[in-house]
Amino acid sequence: MAGFEPATGVWRRSDDSRYDAVSIMADGTSNPACPPFVRIGIVLPVDRRASLDLRFPYGGYRVDGRTVGHARLSAHADGDGVAVQADGKHIGRRDRWHLAPVGGRCGEFGGEPAAGVAARSDVLGVIVEGCVAGRGFHWQSGHDVTLAGDLELSVVDSALMLVNVLPIEPYLEGVITSEMSGECPRAFMRAHAVVARSWIAAASERKHQSLGIDFCNDDCCQRYQGTAAVTPAARSAVSDTRGQVLIHRGGAVVDANYAKCCGGITESGDEVWGHAKSGQRGSVDAPASDRMHAFARVGDNNIAEYVAASIVNETRAYCSPAVVPAEVAARCLGRVDDGSTHFRWRVGYRADQLVDILQRKGLDRIGRTGSDGIAALRDLRVTRRARGGRAIDLTVEYVDRDDRHRSLAIHDQYWIRHALHESFLYSSAFDVRIERDDHDRVLSVELIGAGWGHGAGMCQVGALGMALQGFDHSAILAHYFDGSSVDAHGGHT
């Protein structure tokens, strides 16, 4: 297959939709018992970390050949290298450190447990303090992560970089319990595992190759916050679907994206990214007779009706509060999420607040500064929407500091969400309400919106809703992806 070939493994197509993941060992032989390893960036140069603290509470680790038990390890950027202390004692400075669990990589990648610690891979590993989640998004936060497998420490662009090297299947256990929680229904977790594995196998988005990693640990790629939240149910959801990926009719792996909550209608990949992705289509995320089907195409004529909070009482869309009640969402969302699905939302600004945000984020984006800056906002208009109502093009009309009337065009749902919020707007499916004074000056702007995320591929909250209603993982995947199939030889619940 074209696509994913991590340094230590390959994927081989078998006779159905299953990809056999095979590791190639150092001596060139293959080991079918051991899936390929992925290299995940946990701390990136962009995080600008000068130091990192790691704890080894559960098992023995080898730090460049030296066994470290229950120590606290401190790493500091020191020129182009990393200086490392164990329990306060300097143990050396190297360009790159390799930390490996005692007991080898394959099968025992979590290391051997220390005396008195249960041999559970969900608690084995290294705790890394203060890792970033949600880089640049409205949910950005810092938290500790537990990592199993090998670690590499180095300095890139004068900042520390930490890479976790681990087999792909336990990596997926971490992904599905970081994106959502390990408390989700089994059918949902199985579907999520297949989608996340397909995205990896399709490998169309290799954003970090220059850093020598396969993926980062965050929403930019897929969330991976380590092993601490992995539950037995999550582990069996991954093993039940081991090797399964979505296959499009043409035989290619579906480049399966997903987003948190579509708000009722998912988008096709070509409208969100400007190019078609095989197997992805926009769809109404609701049963056949639902009210949502009245919005087969959301445009200027019906966006106000679509985003209205009152629709919550009229729809049983799979991601709606009628199907996924708030208390279920709070339990099933990822632990760095804010507990809400944002099925419908409102964000309001005074004119000067929005000018300030646009000035810093919208105008900087296209490099205008100085006298080109915004003196007063005149209008904010969505000039193109995708089928599900998401703004793809936005025009900002304003008076500049030299009193000239100007306009600024912002393209792409990502940059629109970036420009219209202090950190990041939930989605670009919004209606714009502008309040003006008697002289037609803008006083305030309110964005009334639907959903959270780019909206293409699987709606995570919708898939959760389908699982709550008893759909199995194959039915969930067939709802969100076109002409796709998983594991023709069973595996359904």
Q: Which residues bind Zn ion (CB under 5 A)?
A: 207, 216, 220-221, 262, 285, 319, 459, 462
- CA atoms of 103 and 61, how far apart (whole Å): 9
Q: How far is the CB of 147 from Zn ion (least distance, A)?
A: 17
Q: Which DSSP helix (H) or strand (E) runs through 155? A: strand 150-156
Q: How far is the CB of 131 from Zn ion (least distance, A)?
A: 14
Our CB check for Zn ion shows the closer of 220 and 330 to be 220
Q: How many CA atoms lie within 13 A of 199 on its CB side?
A: 24
Q: How far is the CB of 439 from Zn ion (least distance, A)?
A: 42
Q: How far is the CB of 454 from Zn ion (least distance, A)?
A: 12
Our CB check for Zn ion shows the closer of 37 and 61 to be 37
- CA atoms of 352 and 350, how far apart (whole Å): 6
Q: How far is the CB of 343 from Zn ion (least distance, A)?
A: 8
Neighbouring C-beta atoms of residue 369, cutoff 10 Å: 9
Our CB check for Zn ion shows the closer of 295 and 349 to be 295
Our CB check for Zn ion shows the closer of 132 and 221 to be 221
- CA atoms of 339 and 63, how far apart (whole Å): 39
3-state secondary structure of 271: helix
Nearest CA-CA partner of 461 in 294, 310, 273, 321: 321
Q: Are 161 and 154 in contact (CB under 8 A)?
A: yes
Q: How far is the CB of 252 from Zn ion (least distance, A)?
A: 22
Our CB check for Zn ion shows the closer of 189 and 319 to be 319
Q: How far is the CB of 312 from Zn ion (least distance, A)?
A: 13
**In DSSP terms, which residues pair with 215 in a beta bridge?**
40
Our CB check for Zn ion shows the closer of 112 and 290 to be 290
- CA atoms of 375 and 382, how far apart (whole Å): 21
Q: How far is the CB of 220 from Zn ion (least distance, A)?
A: 3
∠ Cα 277 239 463 (to 5°): 45
Q: Are 133 and 139 in contact (CB under 8 A)?
A: yes
Our CB check for Zn ion shows the closer of 84 and 333 to be 333
Our CB check for Zn ion shows the closer of 162 and 216 to be 216
Q: Which residues contact 306 (CB under 8 A, 6 or more apart)?
A: 264, 295, 298, 389, 429, 450
Q: Which residues contact 120 (CB under 8 A, 6 or more apart)?
A: none
Our CB check for Zn ion shows the closer of 172 and 221 to be 221
> What is the 3-class SS of 312-364, one letter each residue?
HHCCCCCCCCCCCCHHHHHHHECCCCCCCCCCEEEEEEEHHHHHHHHHHHHHH
Q: How far is the CB of 215 from Zn ion (least distance, A)?
A: 6
Neighbouring C-beta atoms of residue 194, cutoff 10 Å: 32
CA 473 distance to own-chain centroid:
20
